[in-house]
Structure 1
Amino acid sequence: MTRQPSVQLYTVRDHMASREATLTRLAGLGFTAVEPYDPTDDPKGFRALADDLGLTVSGAHAMAMLREPDPAPVFEAVAVLGTDLVILPAGIPEQQFTTREGLEQAAELLNSLSAKAAEHGLRLGYHNHWWEFEPVLDGRHALEILVGLTAPEVVFEIDTYWAAVGGADPAAVLGRLADRVVALHVKDGPIVKGEPHVAVGTGAMPVPAILAAAPADAWRVVELDECATDIFEALGASLAYLDGRGPA
């Protein structure tokens, strides 16, 4: 069964100083799940507020697992949020995706983090940008080679927009990676670096094909890194589109 869409809170980062008001507004738009990007910032308080608003935490981005000498407190914070999915959203040097040796080093890092996350009951995921797809080695996008080098316990959140910017066919990628994908970022826009995003369903992305290719139980997470219009209006329109209530 397809899950209800989530929203990456980085989308509303400029509003998160008023966390309660912002999460209340997202819940009012109809979102029932959120994806935080700073899980160590008062995880107990965040969990209590999310519970009060009926919001599930679909997963959490956690760059802090690389910044801190010991990632254990980061994993503990993520567990408090009530999700079992902790995601590394970046942090592996871009040049490592240009060679087989670099990809092997990246896989070693992810495998190590995955083993540590498992000690806290968590799955370790990796989220891509364009630089993991731009390099093509032996006819394959670097990110797809990385998937094959990692332990099966390592899962992936495919940012479909950045995959397209990196030269990949995101629907085809989702089909090839299959059950290694547990979440995807659904965003839309002109598929050009540096240009703002727009409400899902109103840009150049082949969203219907992407949704059809994704595993049915993978989280669909709406994210707009930068937005060409009012961010809350765009989020409301994106959710309506994904729920089948918006323009086709």
Structure 2
Amino acid sequence: MNTPKYKRIVLKLSGEALAGKEGNGIDPAFIKSIAQQIKDIHDLGIEIAIVVGGGNIWRGKVGSEVGMDRANADYMGMLATVMNSLALQDSLENLDVQTRVQTSIEMRQVAEPYIRRKAMRHLEKKRVVIFAGGTGNPYFSTDTTAALRAAEVEADVILMAKNNVDGVYSDDPTLNEEAFKYNELSYLQVLNQGLGVMDSTASSLCMDNDIALIVFSIMDEGNIKRVVTGEEIGTLIRRKSE
């Protein structure tokens, strides 16, 4: 249970995961719980990078749908991810876990600018690195950010922690009682069946760079540790399923 399967991971947290059961805003108690789970795997010697969404505060897509300029709406979403990242950093450092936030949009008063070599050095020194600000470009999701950063820092796997589902299903399980959960999929299956695990840009990037993805629930205490130690929970997605 305490032997890690991976050396370096990218943990993808949705913004909604930081909102807890409220669904919006930031829930300090729930962030503290997530931070404790991250500390638990950090203590195993795993190198941890994190990408946080901003949907609990703002979604660029929603803004564009009500008439906002899409680029401006997306930049607002990137700023929301910085707020979430700083909140998570604070919780981790309260647990004595050295953490660095790097932003793709420079704001030196609050975080480091994203520099790949510096990020990798932090990881080698066992510091947690949180990548904020998305890719720095509109029209790209934080799922794509996770795929891009995982490729850049040569991560072994992306762990996609969900707050409302425990894996990938054939259909929305809240609407279709016959929907079933997949234990394993290929990226081609995800793309061809339109399963909506992550956007197509992110899925293609993961497939092209042969980066495995595990989708699981963050709501069950200790699930992050279960995944990194090899317990088969959630859904595994890779270039070719067996």
Do the structures match in fold with TM over 0.5?
no
TM-score range, shorter chain: 0.3 to 0.5
Q: Work out which structure has the larger RCO, using CA pairs closer than 8 Å and 6 or more positions apart in sequence.
A: 2
TM-score by length of 1: 0.36
The structure carrying a bigger strand percent of its residues is: 2
